């Protein structure tokens, strides 16, 4: 067990395994970041975050609950131990996020602090990216943030590559089911049928690409037209899935959402 802050320790799977070691170190709370939940420890509060040490593992969604668990233990005068199998990646990522949140540090500053204390600390690149997103959200998992929505969509499409059986929480509420749109939001409708399609809060930021040429369905082959289009400002919207799309997602073709009753309303490139 390596102390990081007063009342905060980090270690590997063997940390505190000796009888009475946790109590001797003043540990009252144990946060395990493991694929399998470890057996309970008598007299110790526990929190298990199911996670493998793989870049694609979603650690970001658990960071706020981890921080609350650790802060509660320290506020009570005890110590908290964050533990994973090797004590190198998963536990280091959680402790780094905790330092960012509680000490108002950037990702780079918090990670450097951990590495100075624990020389073998090295989280995988996926966790690094997630902690940078955490920093961009102000060290708070904001489920309404476009950053988090885009992250969640990426994770969902990795898990459901065929876009089938998507979990309900992925879909934004259908604008037609909302009695009143917030004054700060713009409502987007179909030009032809005027159906409400999505609100401005559903729009996701994206890096501008090469214009219409990037979309296979545009079928642009004229070199002169491609040159002209490359100078035009991007006019595409990337949005999170909305509830009305769910029935037609099974008809995805070449990245466009198509449906017998909705093809005239909207076609888009999904993240």
Task: Supply the angle between the helices 63-75 and 90-103 in degrees, to the nearest 10.
Answer: 70
Range of the domain at 107: 2-141
Separation of CA 209 from chain center: 23
| pLDDT average, residue stretch 106-125 | 97
Whether 25 and 108 map to the same domain: the answer is yes
Q: Are residues 170 and 48 in the same domain?
A: no
The rounded distance, in Å, linking the Cα atoms of 205 and 28 is 43
- Claim: this prediction has a pTM higher than 0.85: no
Question: Using DSSP, how many helices (H) and how many strands (E) does the chain show?
Answer: 7, 9
Residue 55 and residue 177 share a domain: no
Give the Cα separation of 229 and 152 in Å (integer): 31
What confidence tier does 118 reach under pLDDT thresholds 50, 70, 90? very high
Domain assignment present for residue 257? The answer is no
CATH number of the domain within which 92 lies: 3.90.190.10
Task: Flag whether 262 is in a domain.
Answer: no
Spatial distance between the Cα atoms of 33 and 93, rounded to a whole number of angstroms:
10
- Looking at the structure, tell me whether residues 115 and 45 fall in a common domain: yes
Confidence of residue 269 (pLDDT cuts 50, 70, 90): very low
Interval 13-42 mean pLDDT: 88
Residue 74 has pLDDT above 90, yes or no: yes
* Average pLDDT score, the chain: 78
- Is residue 84 part of the annotated active site? The answer reads yes
Domain shared by 177 and 127, yes or no: no
Q: Kindly indicate the confidence band of residue 263, based on its pLDDT and cuts at 50, 70 and 90.
A: very low
Indicate if 183 and 233 belong to the same structural domain: yes
The domain boundary residue, chosen from 141, 174, 201: 141
134 near 100, Cβ under 8 Å? yes
Q: How many domains does the chain have?
A: 2
Task: Evaluate whether residue 147 is within a structural domain.
Answer: no
Q: Which residues contact 240 (CB under 8 A, 6 or more apart)?
A: 149, 150, 153, 170, 171, 172, 202, 204
Residue 91: CB partners within 8 Å, gap ≥ 6? 10, 11, 12, 31, 33, 82, 83, 84
- Say what the pLDDT of residue 63 is: 97
Tokens 């179909």 locate to 190
Instruction: Please tell me whether residues 92 and 192 are part of one structural domain.
Output: no
Q: Are residues 119 and 210 in the same domain?
A: no
Catalytic one among 84, 179, 190, 234? 84
Judge if 106 and 176 occupy the same domain: no
Higher-confidence residue: 43 or 171?
A: 43
Does 120 reside within a domain? Answer: yes
Are 178 and 244 contained in the same domain? Answer: yes
pLDDT beyond 90 at 100: yes
Is 185 a domain residue? Answer: yes
Region 172-191 average pLDDT:
66
Same domain, residue pair 210 and 113:
no
């Amino acid at each position: 067990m390596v102390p990081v802050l007063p009342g905060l320790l980090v270690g590997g799977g063997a940390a505190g395994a000796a009888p009475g070691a946790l109590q001797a170190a003043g540990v009252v709370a144990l946060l395990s970041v493991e694929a399998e939940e470890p057996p309970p420890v008598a007299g110790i509060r526990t929190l298990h975050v199911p996670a493998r040490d793989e870049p694609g593992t979603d650690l970001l969604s658990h960071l706020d609950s981890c921080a609350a668990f650790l802060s509660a233990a320290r506020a009570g005068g005890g110590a908290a131990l964050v533990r994973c199998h090797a004590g190198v990646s998963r536990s280091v990522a959680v402790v780094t996020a905790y330092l960012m949140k509680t000490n108002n540090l950037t990702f780079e500053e918090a990670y450097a602090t951990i590495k100075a204390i624990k020389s073998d600390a090295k989280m995988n690149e996926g966790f690094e990216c997630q902690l940078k997103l955490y920093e961009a959200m102000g060290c708070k998992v904001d489920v309404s943030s476009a950053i988090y929505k885009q992250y969640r969509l990426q994770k969902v499409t990795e898990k459901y590559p065929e876009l089938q059986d998507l979990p309900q929480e992925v879909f934004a509420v259908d604008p037609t089911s909302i009695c009143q749109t917030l004054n700060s939001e713009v409502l987007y409708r179909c030009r032809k049928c005027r159906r409400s399609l999505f609100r401005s809060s559903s729009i996701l930021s994206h890096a501008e690409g090469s214009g219409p040429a990037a979309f296979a369905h545009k079928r642009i082959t004229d070199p002169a037209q491609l040159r002209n289009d490359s100078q035009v400002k991007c006019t595409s919207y990337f949005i999170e899935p909305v509830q009305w799309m769910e029935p037609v997602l099974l008809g995805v073709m070449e990245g466009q959402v198509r449906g017998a009753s909705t093809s005239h309303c909207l076609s888009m490139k999904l993240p």
